[in-house]
Structure 1
Amino acid sequence: MENPLFSVEGRDLRVRDARTAFFEEGTPADTLVPVVGPVVKSWSRCVQIGLDAHVPSAKDIGPVSETQLREIRDRNAFLLSHARGVLSHLYEQIRSTGSVVILSDSNGLVLEGLGDPDFVNRADKVALKAGAQWGEGQRGTNAIGTAIAEQQPVEVVGAEHFFDCNAFLTCSASPIFDAAGQLLGVLDISGDSRSYERHTLGLVRMSAQLLEKRLFEAEFGRELLVFFHPRMEYVGSLQEGMLAFNQGGELLGANRCALDLLQLNRNMLGKVDFGMLFDQPFGMFVDRSVRDPHALSSLPCRHGERVYARMNLPAVLVPPRPVATPSPAVSAPARPRKPECTEGRVGFSCLDTGDARMGAAIRRATRMVGKDIPLLILGESGVGKEMFAKAFHEAGPRRAAPFVALNCAAIPENLIESELFGYLGGAFTGARKEGYTGKIQQACGGTLFLDEIGDMPLNLQARLLRVLQDRVVIPLGGAKPVPVDISLVCATHRNLVDAVKTGAFRQDLYYRVNGLTVTLPSLRERDDIRAIVANIITIETDGMRDITVSEKVLEFFERYGWPGNIRQMHNALRVAVALLDDDETVIDSSHLPEELFAMESDGDELLDKAEPRARRIEVAPLQGAESLETIERRAIDQVLEEEGGNVSAAARRLGISRNTLYRKLGRM
């Protein structure tokens, strides 16, 4: 039988007696602390700032505007991007309990919430929704505001709320701190006080610790992270200590557990190094971790205790780039091996060819590698958004799993749904008998790349949002949810913020896919044109030919506007490589497609600054009913004569290879 002293009814009785004593009889708060704990201290604060427990409307304010909410969310983008997965996971634990999961900023303003529909309607009546302010100064004693004031996890049940209108709520909240110990926000579960559960506060506290762990790993994603605990089985748990070191062994960051275990304070960050904490050379520990990243090492601490530790090396360590002197011509390496950069598998090291803006985008994306954070790639058509997405996939732990791409703008609207979600056999007229596994399921365990997501129809945006929230997909014609585990990367050339304002793109989906945004520069803005040319030639020749590009063509490439960006350049160089004869090793203007110069009004002027273009072929008028073979022969003879018998030059003007021209001459 439950002890009445600890039952919900017993607690409510004690609280109501305390309210009477405090608000009506003037009993000092200190004498009531043993009865209602930190709650009465909050009551005192509320009274001191002039709140009246019986008149909530005096201080009651409505939610901020949509514009203000967007601005506040933008300021809290780092927190939101890492918290959304935790929010979804936490909601799954309390689904159908008549509760709502809430994330607020450091001032108590609600940023996002997930909840059961029946309770959400009641919660909205007390403004427990996005944009509402729940600091103690506005809402009196409540879990969010009081957790901020106390800087510790807080539970506020029923009549413990300062205002009577909130007495139907039970709320459990835990503050969220960054690696520097600064308050970032609050995680909260609110529900009907009649459904109070003692374990809720522990669940919220654990979720806040998980979020703090993710924030720490994201902030120091490019550093050397050490995870440790005196007990071996605690390494990898939420109780482990986390330390961040730079490559010189200097301590950059530590979580709260690490500070407690090592008896440190935050003022020591940046002032101590690995050797001052542990009785082992830093280089030795790093070398051991490189050989076996998953092994636990026994580390002796300077204060006498031993801990078990492992080091997490960053996925990509980018060394300082040497300054190269421009050469008069760019060549692809002639090595009889498969090149590092291929169209099938490409890494960030291939894309990072010296441009500052591209390098910055790569470094930002690298910090998200291995994290459950969606990546949004912005940029003009043809700048290499899909290549960037592939490199992001290759850099992470999912590299061995599928990379599945879907261009939302290239598929008819009536087919996107079945392509994305799949369908069961016979789900609609024309459906395959065996059904179809959609792109989302195909990408399970790997990466789903949604190109031009800004062109996705609104009705499918709602379905995609549900998949991202619930991590399950229901194929067309099916009823059973299928769990999916995907890393999401999206791309668009559109301005999604404007699309949200006009209603063309869902705001909630925008915040779901916009975990980290990187913008890729257009080709005309980049200063690494020569390196890009070399990479493309390497791809086209598979690294097996030593091909150079003439200086005049390179200068033309650097002046040209490239409306089609890298895609256009790649196509131009693919044609140029194909037009090279077997004994030719230099690409000049005669190898470039004429369409390259016709796409802009100043194409001829740009080309004139590079090299003279081959003369136009003007064949004499037809002489009676000539056959096609006769006309071809006359054209070849005329061009050969004009080129002084130079077969290579004639072949270039005719747009065919020298071997093809020899074959045609052999038949004549």
Structure 2
Amino acid sequence: MPERHEDRVAQASQSPAAVTRLAASWRRSMVKHGLDPARPPKLRRLMERELIDRRERLGQFVAIARPQLDQLFQLVCPTGCNVLMTDAAGIVLEQRVNAADAETFRNWGLWAGTDWSEQAEGTNGIGTCLAEGRQVTIHRDEHFYSRNTGLSCMDAPIWGPDGRLIAALDVSSARADHTERWNGLIAAQVAQSARQIEAAYFRASFPGARIVTATVEGAEDSALLLAVDKDDLAIGANRAARRAFGLEKEGQLRPRPASDLLGRDDDATGFEKAERAAVIRALARAEGNVSAAARALGVGRATLYRRMQRLGISENPGRLSRG
């Protein structure tokens, strides 16, 4: 007689030293959250008023995310997938689904207002992504409850400009022919869309600042974003930059000179290269006029001169070194 799904989950969850992330999540679902894989509770859905309140609390973020959700849905909708975005508590705030597939996903509970936290549904794409703060794919029988084993869920976390987890982005499929390889392709697109939402919200959170961006090879989050004010102080950093520069892990950033973070070594950092390129472009457009270039960059003439000196840039872009 084949082993039941709930028996397999319970057995794998017995050891406190679970050897895989999946087993650790199953154990967390049973021990920490007190869930029984053989007794799934009724799906928890918010009342409409509470859902509206949650959306309003994240008003600007939701508005910025919507175009990316639309774009992601256009990419995956031919495969019969459902696109969801939750808040940090696992409540579905936004949804994109084909009309022909709507009833299927509504029956699964993958619908606006539903609680998909690990506390409510055990191991699942949304809840486990939020619990562990990392990209996850929960494929079919990797789910905690047997009622969810017909689903494949690809999820990525979205981090706010304060370094805290703000949302999860999810693409779910109920199709039996979705293979793990196909899920991997979708998961890559989900991760990319999550980073785009994250970057757009970061930029919107510092409207008066210059955003310096760079990529660091091998970094967990490839894009580092730093918000620099008119006085050349770093006033904001995304999670990747906070980790890379050893800044406050969460919360408001203590302002410090951007030059202290960017460094002055002979070998230019990724940030310095990006800043140097921005200054050179501004000078070239201004035909070497430093005052005009400073206005275009939103800084004072004296500040731009200091940056040019630090970056080894002459006033005439035609004589700039390419080194």
Q: TM-score scaled to structure 2, two decimals?
A: 0.74
Match 2:199 to one of 193, 213, 217: 213
Residue 223 of structure 2 corresponds to: 240
Q: 1:292 offset after TM fit, Å?
A: 2.5
Give structure 2 stretches of 5+ with no counterpart: 265-273, 285-293, 301-323
The one-letter code sitting in structure 2 at the alignment partner of 1:215 is Y
2:193 equivalent to 1:204: no
Change (3 A) 1:38 1:288: closer
Q: 1:271 to 1:89 in 2, by over 3 A?
A: same
Aligned to 1:134: 116
Contact 2:94 2:112 (8 Å CA) reproduced: yes
Letter in 1 for 2:77: R
Equivalent position to 2:15, from 25, 28, 34: 28
Q: 1:257 aligns with which of 240, 256, 266?
A: 240
The 1-side partners of 2:276 and 2:12 are apart by: 69
Give 1:193 deviation, angstroms: 5.2
Return closer, same or farther for 1:134/1:170 CA change in 2, 3 Å cut-off.
same
Work out whether 1:222 is the aligned partner of 2:203: no
Distance 1:314 1:215, change over 3 A: farther
Contact conserved, 1:222 with 1:316, CA < 8 A, in 2? Answer: no
Q: Once the 2 structures are TM-superposed, how far is the Cα of residue 144 of structure 1 from its aligned partner?
A: 0.6
Q: Indicate if the aligned counterparts of 2:140 and 2:151 stay in contact, CA closer than 8 A.
A: yes
SS at match of 1:144: helix
Q: Which amino acid aligns with 2:225?
A: M
CA contact (8 A) 1:119 1:191 kept: no
Query: Which one of 257, 281, 286 corresponds to residue 292 of structure 1?
Result: 281
Task: After TM superposition, give the deviation of residue 278 of structure 1 in Å.
Answer: 3.2
Q: How does 1:324-363 map to 2 (within 5 A)?
A: none
Deviations 1:540-582 (A, max 9, x none): xxxxxxxxxxxxxxxxxxxxxxxxxxxxxxxxxxxxxxxxxxx
Take 1:29 and 1:227, find their aligned partners in 2: how far apart are those partners? 42
- Other-structure match for 1:269: 253
Secondary structure of 1:176's counterpart equals: strand
Q: 1:246 to 1:43 in 2, by over 3 A?
A: same
Equivalent residue number for residue 151 of structure 1: 133
Secondary structure of the residue aligned to 2:256 is: coil
Which has the bigger relative contact order, CA under 8 A and spacing at least 6?
2
1:81 equivalent in alignment to 2:67 = no
Shift of 1:199: 1.7
Displacement of 1:272 after TM fit? 2.5
What's the secondary structure of 1:155's corresponding residue? strand
Matched pairs, number: 274
Superposition pairs for residues 99-178 of structure 1, below 5 Å?
99-178=81-160
Find the partner of 1:50 among 22, 28, 34.
34
| Structure 1: gaps spanning 5 or more residues | 1-12, 232-237, 296-312, 320-668
CA-atom RMSD, angstroms? 3.4
Asked if the contact 1:136/1:142 (under 8 Å) is kept, the reply is yes
Give how far 1:159 is off: 1.1
TM-score, scaled relative to structure 1: 0.37
Q: 1:515-548 deviations in whole A, cap 9, x for unaligned?
A: xxxxxxxxxxxxxxxxxxxxxxxxxxxxxxxxxx
Determine if contact 1:79/1:184 at 8 Å carries over to the other structure.
no
Summarize deviations over 1:417-463 as a string: whole Å, max 9, x none.
xxxxxxxxxxxxxxxxxxxxxxxxxxxxxxxxxxxxxxxxxxxxxxx
CA, structure 1 residues 29+204, in 2 after alignment: closer, same or farther (shift >3 Å)? farther
Q: Which amino acid aligns with 1:76?
A: L
Q: What displacement does 1:142 show?
A: 0.8
Q: How far apart are the structure 1 equivalents of 2:263 and 2:167?
A: 37
Deviations 1:208-238 (A, max 9, x none): 111111011111121121123468xxxxxx8
Alpha-carbon distance between aligned partners in 2 of 1:272 and 1:22, rounded to the nearest angstrom:
49
Task: Confirm or deny: 8 A CA contact 1:22 1:29 kept in the other structure.
Answer: no
Whole-Å separation in 2 of the counterparts to 1:279 and 1:146:
38
Deviations 1:587-611 (A, max 9, x none): xxxxxxxxxxxxxxxxxxxxxxxxx
Report deviation, 1:55.
Answer: 1.4
Q: Is the 8 A contact 2:12 2:23 kept in 1?
A: no
Q: Secondary structure at the match of 1:95?
A: helix
Q: Deviations over 1:361-413 (max 9, x none)?
A: xxxxxxxxxxxxxxxxxxxxxxxxxxxxxxxxxxxxxxxxxxxxxxxxxxxxx
Take 1:203 and 1:314, find their aligned partners in 2: how far apart are those partners?
A: 38
% identical equivalent positions: 27
Aligned to 1:90: 72
Cα pair 2:225 2:237 within 8 Å, conserved: yes
Q: Quick check: 2:216–2:222 contact (8 Å CA) kept in 1?
A: no
In 2, Cα distance between equivalents of 1:133 and 1:315: 47
Residue 169 (structure 1) shift: 0.3
User: Secondary structure of the equivalent of 1:30?
Assistant: coil
- Rate the CA distance shift 1:213–1:315 in 2: closer, same or farther, 3 A: farther
Q: CA, structure 1 residues 100+293, in 2 after alignment: closer, same or farther (shift >3 Å)?
A: farther
User: What SS does the aligned partner of 2:120 have?
Assistant: helix
The equivalent of 2:24 in structure 1 is 41
Q: CA deviation at 1:23?
A: 1.6
Amino acid at match of 2:25: S
* Alpha-carbon distance change, 108 to 115 in structure 1, aligned in 2, over 3 angstroms: same
C-alpha contact 1:103 1:188 (8 A) present in aligned 2: yes
1:66: Cα distance to partner?
1.5
CA contact 2:13–2:27 (8 Å) conserved in 1: no
CA displacement at 1:291 relative to structure 2: 6.4
CA separation of 1:121/1:293 partners in 2, compared to 1, >3 Å: closer, same or farther?
A: farther
User: What do the CA deviations read for 1:596-640 (whole angstroms, capped 9, x no partner)?
Assistant: xxxxxxxxxxxxxxxxxxxxxxxxxxxxxxxxxxxxxxxxxxxxx
